[in-house]
Amino acid sequence: MTDLAFGLLGFVGLFSLMILRTPVAFAMLMTGFFGIWMLDGLRRAGAVLLTETYSSVANYSLVVVPMFVLLGNIASEAGFSRGLYDAAHAWVGRMRGGLATASVIGCAAFSAVSGSSVATAVTIGRVALPEMKRLGYGPALSTGAIAAGGTLGFLIPPSTGFVIYAILTEESIGRLFMAGILPGILMLSLFAAAIWLVTLRYPDAGPRGEYVPVAERFRLLARALPLLAVIVLSIGGIYLGVFTPVEASGIGAGLILVFALAGRVLDLAGLRRAVMETVRTSAMLYMIVIGANVLNPFLALTGVPDGLGAGLAALGLGPYGTLLVILLSYVVLGMFLDGLAMLVITVPIYFPVVTALGFDPIWFGVVAVIVIEMGMITPPVGLNVFVVRNVAEGVALSTVFRGMLPFLVAMVVCLALIVAFPQIALIIPNSMYN
């Protein structure tokens, strides 16, 4: 058996383990370890396991993960996320479909501190869905808006997806964070447009909310200022070069804790819950990075990336035709795998192919994240859809998937625009770092 065939057999084993519900981190770890053992001996496999585990955990850049996760968990426990949603509701809730738009805005803002799609969907969903139900919103639009808005957590910085991509490709986390800003705003605008079109066609799906006096709007905006200040300081500080992403994560987490304690909105039990949830999430993400770093040497030994590149080149599709094939494969994988699993499995394979075709690696990171976001809301897995379904009591899963369709179209439009005009993603990082 050739090394390439052995590598493909390894992928069969990897997917088989995941079908058997083995956690993706351990599936990659086992595939990589035993694959290297069979190809290059137990001594080499043990050395890779030891060195890659240590280097992954000791990676300074990964500090941004627990710090930003802690920031988001404290904001949720302290009620700052509720204040953010209430402020967005007060300002745009009067419009038709305004509450759904406010929910998407709330998701976007909370994404900027949590970096997690699932955490965003759960946090805003618990606040927004009961309110939309009370005001007579259609269940498809309300659940679809939350599930789609939650995916912004994978795109709007600080994004755990960008951190993992940067670790796997040795690209700059700061550049990737900055590259996600304009695409995130574009995606948010297209989601708002999708809500407007749905309510234009079906007015009962998103009735107008109650009028909120201007003074009350500013009062609610003031309640959201602590979280808004942390967002502006963290992202703005990175953009201005005042501090690195790692420093921004620590400053943001420290500030949100100070605001929560000073405002007496966080007790000891809430702080304990935030810390424990941060530990669980961070441990999961660190294990995924370790698993990916053990799997990658196995892929290099088998020559799978080189074989894939040669196979795609033999098709004669050209750069954009090859890119289309890669993106379609992401869509298919998104029907079965969660976002992080897709990222860590595919990036080591596709990245050499994409860079050989002359595409900018930072731009491809944004494109890959958007396609992975699409996978989070497509059947049969659609992780965000299942999360929202669990929060929205009494709503059928088919209803949530139906509500996702307008937002899925918006994502396709966003992706097409960024492929056609790469500067949407590159203008900010290029202006900063060049």
Helix axis angle, 397-420 to 383-391, nearest 10°:
140
* 262-306 residue pLDDT tens: 888 888 899 999 899 889 888 888 888 888 888 888 888 888 777
Structural domain range at position 203? 61-433
In a domain? residue 117:
yes
* pLDDT average, residue stretch 321-340: 80
In a domain? residue 113:
yes
State the pLDDT at residue 317: 82
In a domain? residue 17:
no
State the pLDDT at residue 56: 79
State the pLDDT at residue 433: 66
Tell me which of 229 and 88 has the higher pLDDT: 229
State the pLDDT at residue 417: 96
CA dihedral angle for residue 18, residue 24, residue 29, residue 30, rounded to 10 degrees: -20
The answer for residues whose C-beta is within 8 angstroms of residue 393's C-beta and 6 or more apart is none
Q: How confident is the model at residue 381 (pLDDT cuts 50, 70, 90)?
A: low
Q: How many domains does the chain have?
A: 1
* 395-430 residue pLDDT tens: 887 888 888 899 999 999 999 999 999 999 999 998
In a domain? residue 235:
yes
- The Cα–Cα gap between 100 and 105 comes to 9
Q: Does the pLDDT value for residue 115 go beyond 70? A: no
State the pLDDT at residue 257: 92
Tell me if residue 155 falls in helix, strand or coil. coil
In a domain? residue 251:
yes
Contact assessment for residue 116 and residue 149, using Cβ atoms and an 8 Å cutoff: no
Tell me which of 383 and 311 has the higher pLDDT: 311
In a domain? residue 13:
no
In a domain? residue 35:
no
In a domain? residue 55:
no
